Chain A
Amino acid sequence: MLMGRTKPPIYGLLAEFDTPARLVAAAERARKEGYRCMDAYAPYPVEGLAEALKFHHTRVPLITLIGGIVGGLAGYFMQYWIAAINYPLNIGGRPLHSWPAFIPVTFELTILGAALSAVLGMLGLNGLPMPYHPVFHVPRFALASRDRFFLCVEATDPKFDRQTTQRFLESLDSRGVFEVPH
């Protein structure tokens, strides 16, 4: 239970669109109208949609870079520690810290660290796995993974009003507007 704050009675309002162009136009209009707590849903990555919602920045590349650096350093120093410190083997007087021979494993572990962080970072930032989400209550939403495009204005938006928001969404060339319960 949320204490001190009143939970809105519904999650939001969901508008359905036929084409990606209409969805992008609607998202831009809604932004201009002053709505901020919004999300759009599409069956494939629609170009310009994230920009229309003013969602530019993602930390996935940074997380990937850090993962790669950590993987590479860990790989290199593991080999250095093993071959030169913990278990030195003198083979024909060759140097213990034979760095060229350590490069292949360092490279592989860099890639491994970066790839794992890219995937886990993407899933983590997206909040997946998420078994429950209110938008799935709307039966038409099943088409969001086929050929329909949706815009959801959430009830937490300060400008949200059950009646005016509904009228606004209906004016956007949508096929229908649905209430999303919690």
Chain B
Amino acid sequence: MGAEGPRLPTAAERRRPPVIGPGHTFATVTDKISTIVLTRPTTPGWLAGFLVSFSLMMLLFYAIGYLLLEGVGVWGINIPVGWGFAIVNFVWWIGIGHAGTLISAILLLLNQKWRTSINRFAEAMTLFAVASAGLFPLLHLGRPGLFYWLLPYPSTMGVWPQFRSPLVWDVFAVSTYFTVSLLFWFVGLIPDLATLRDRAETRAARILYGILAMGWRGSAMHWHRYQTAYLLLAGLAAPLVVSVHTVVSLDFAVGIIPGWHSTIFPPYFVAGAIYSGFAMVLTLAIPLRAAYGLEDFITMRHLENMAKVMLATGLIVAYGYAMELFMAWYSGNTYEGFTAWNRIVGPYWPAYWALILCNVVIPQLLWFKRVRTKVPVLFVLSLTVNLGMWLERFVIVVTSLHRDFLPSSWGMYTATRWDWAVFVGSMGLFLTLLFLFIRFLPMISIFEMRELVSETEAGSSD
């Protein structure tokens, strides 16, 4: 803060909605967020949502049990399409996770104040999305019990993983990403866990939050080291998130399959990940702020900014689609040309056109401020983008594989009910974890909201 004292807001500031509603103090932000966890009774809405999610998670467990008994033959995969829903869902989920890291790390480094009220649950979303994503390659292994063969450990067989393979890079990228996201999320939670410990009304809650808070007492020296570590983590997470989706895209691009073997894949995948991630943050933020009355904290400014990020990354993705088609024609490669043409008019044409509609055409509505500021419209748009990004991965995985180089090895892929069960079930896992999170942990970072209060006004209490 400057030393010039209070000043009148500029014209631009008056036109833009604030990042936090008026009249909040350190005490009110603390109480408002912590009572959601500590004193507010479990609402019927939460219970209903949790039950639905929990049932879907049970469906996931059932489908996994059947898969383990019978093998991957229960899915629709076969030669030539060996990568079906499992890989589509893996890429979709991990892409969704990326917005959480982007909001918490990159926007922190860029000193964007509006990130504060959405970073905590966006980070939780990252964690749960990566957990859902991680399931799929493991199940797709065929023999999931032997997953540890992917790790470099001195085995009695004397063999090691092949470090020149992107699939091994993937193991390191995804597990590092999960670990760093967990660390970032937990470090961010420590001061808030201390707040919950100090305000808990039952002994059990005090002990539980107390153990997790590790004796945090808000000492000035601790805060000093804490801020340094938090900034460093943000600085580390920012390149990490780019590297993770780059490695995921290399799973495809390193292969010599037409439609995959392209240098545009890394940036195009990273932009797509951010696109779908912001869509998912909107999908979650809009019902949450309505259900818990958090319109003061997650303001129209947040929703509009996220819509703008979606529009920008959506345009990058659209450029990627255009370049794919252009290069298929310009390269003069018969197989590339055929793959592109086959996507547009081949047997999977509905998926391709639906993807263009969801990811390129409909999101152009976000150019209009009237659309960006209408919450229900924004919600529907975010769902559209989520669907479009799932279709994009479906088109990339399935249409490239189903027409092999020789027409004698052409085939079709149709998802079985077990494919669908695992996919829908993974949403159950994601939502179950999310419902538990909003019930037991503060979904908005309390200490960062206090910082925001101190920066927006004097912030004196009582």
Contacts and interface: CB of A to CB of B under 8 A. Distances in A.
Interface of A: 18-20, 27, 39-47, 49-50, 53, 55, 58, 60-61, 64, 68, 78-79, 82-83, 86-87, 89, 98, 101-102, 104-105, 107-109, 111-112, 114-116, 118-119, 121-123, 125-126, 128-133, 135-136, 141-148
Contact of B218 (A19, A41, A47): A41
A79 to B, nearest CB: 5
Contacts of A108: 169, 172-173, 176, 240, 243
A100 to B, nearest CB: 9
B111 interface: no
Nearest to B243: A107
Nearest to A21: B458
Interface stretch (B69-77, B156-164, B309-317, B398-406): B156-164
Give the 6 A-B residue pairs with the shortest CB-CB distance, closest first. Answer: A129-B214, A122-B229, A147-B26, A130-B215, A45-B223, A50-B224
Interface string B170-195: 00110010011001101100010011
| Binding site secondary structure of chain B | helix
B450 A112 contact: no
A133 B198 CA distance: 14
A182 B214 CA distance: 19
B215 A133 contact: yes
Given A44-B450, A82-B163, A115-B179, A122 B226 contact: yes
B163 A118 contact: no
B435 interface: no
16 contacts: A18-B461, A42-B223, A44-B26, A50-B220, A60-B225, A82-B163, A87-B158, A108-B176, A109-B172, A111-B240, A115-B184, A119-B229, A121-B229, A145-B30, A145-B218, A147-B462
Q: How large is the interface on B (under 10, 10 to 19, 20 to 34, 35 or more residues)?
A: 35 or more
Given A41-B217, A111-B236, A105 B163 contact: yes
B243 A104 contact: yes
Given A83-B163, A112-B176, A40 B219 contact: yes
B224 A58 contact: yes
A178 to B, nearest CB: 15
Interface of B: 1, 25-27, 30-31, 152, 158-164, 166, 168-169, 172-173, 176, 179-180, 183-184, 186-187, 191, 194-195, 197-199, 210, 214-229, 232-233, 236-237, 239-240, 243, 247, 250, 447-448, 450-451, 454, 458-462
A112 B179 CA distance: 8
Contacts of B169: 104-105, 108
A148 B228 CA distance: 23
A42 B27 contact: no
Contacts of B229: 60, 64, 118-119, 121-122
Contacts of B218: 41-43, 144-145
B64 to A, nearest CB: 27
A135 B216 CA distance: 11
User: Which interface residue of B26, B187, B195, B447 has the most chain A CB atoms within 10 A?
Assistant: B26
Nearest to B169: A104
Contacts of B243: 104, 107-108, 111
Nearest to B254: A101
B171 to A, nearest CB: 9
